[in-house]
């Protein structure tokens, strides 16, 4: 990357000048008339994608921050945009970003009377360990296995962008968010739920050699059941439109599609 703190000064379109400074390796700030008018952020996700975002008070600030970030960062660059926000879509397209994939946003009911997941039972010999009770070593090993299997098939780029960029090489940020399926002496599946204002089902995965036995459905039933018992009526999940299996699973339990997010990329 370029040295920190280069300053880009450009007229804002009126008598003000927007000055953009790189204030850290991952942050840029725009100032006009000694007042902040926007900022930009960059984050390297666990799958290696470099995502950028811009929060600007007006179009001129957005453009100046974007110019600075594009000058300072290596490509490819990615960003996420609400597909219904046509102004934002147009702004990123002007910068040379193009849609690469679409995530559908779903509201997921937790009530088993709606989902039909109440009577779901684990396959014989499989036990669900509640969130926070898994051993870290085997959990991290399973996470690595399923990530490698996804990368070898669908490709991890088709998975929803993860919320927290962890330390380099560590993809299990908080083991307490994971429930796991155990068979004999090994973990064979996992579900991660992020406890946000609206809980987010961030990942459901089962080892390739243990799929099509109902383990994923049992993990989802467990996660939603735990949320329901805690008084949470709805959760959130994002699914890549190409992931037909996950889309079918959600469609079968009464989810409500709420919108879509586009991942743009500039190469």
Distance CA 143, CA 171 (A): 8
What residue segments make up the domains of the chain, in order of their start?
A: 7-102, 105-261
Cα distances (Å, whole numbers) of residue 184 to 127, 158, 181, 199: 9, 31, 10, 30
Residue 167 has pLDDT above 80, yes or no: no
State pLDDT tens for residues 19-71: 999 999 999 999 998 899 999 999 988 678 899 999 998 888 999 999 999 99
Top CATH class of 105-261 equals alpha beta
Q: Is residue 151 a contact partner of residue 35, using CB atoms and an 8 Å limit?
A: no
Alpha carbon 20 to chain centroid, angstroms: 28
What fold is seen in the domain 7-102?
Answer: Aminopeptidase (3.40.630)
Residue 169 has pLDDT above 50, yes or no: yes
Q: Do domains 7-102 and 105-261 have the same CATH topology?
A: yes
Distance CA 66, CA 60 (A): 10
Question: Six-digit token pair at 153?
Answer: 């098939």
DSSP state of 24: S
State pLDDT tens for residues 245-258: 788 888 889 899 99
């Amino acid at each position: 990357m370029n040295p920190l703190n280069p300053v880009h000064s450009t007229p804002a379109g009126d008598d003000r000048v927007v000055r953009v400074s790189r204030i850290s390796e991952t942050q840029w700030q725009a100032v006009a008339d000694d007042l902040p008018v926007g900022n930009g952020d960059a984050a390297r996700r666990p799958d290696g994608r470099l995502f950028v975002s811009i929060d600007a008070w007006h179009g001129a600030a957005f453009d100046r921050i974007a110019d600075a970030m594009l000058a300072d960062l290596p490509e490819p660059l990615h960003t996420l945009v609400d597909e219904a926000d046509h102004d934002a879509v147009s702004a990123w397209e002007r910068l040379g970003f193009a849609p690469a994939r679409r995530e559908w946003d779903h509201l997921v009911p937790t009530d088993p009377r709606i989902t039909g997941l109440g009577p779901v039972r684990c396959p014989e010999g499989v036990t669900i360990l509640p969130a926070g009770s898994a051993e870290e070593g085997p959990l991290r090993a399973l996470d690595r296995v399923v990530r490698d299997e996804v990368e070898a098939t669908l490709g991890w780029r088709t998975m929803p962008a993860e919320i927290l960029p962890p330390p380099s090489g560590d993809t299990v940020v908080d083991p307490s968010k994971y429930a796991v399926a155990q068979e004999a002496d090994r973990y064979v599946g996992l579900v991660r739920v992020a406890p946000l204002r609206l809980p987010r089902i961030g990942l459901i995965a089962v080892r390739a050699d243990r799929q099509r036995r109902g383990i994923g459905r049992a993990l989802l039933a467990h996660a939603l059941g735990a949320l329901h018992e805690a008084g949470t009526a709805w959760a959130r999940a994002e699914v890549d439109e190409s992931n037909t299996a996950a889309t079918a699973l959600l469609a079968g339990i009464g989810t409500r599609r709420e919108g879509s997010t586009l991942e743009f990329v500039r190469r």
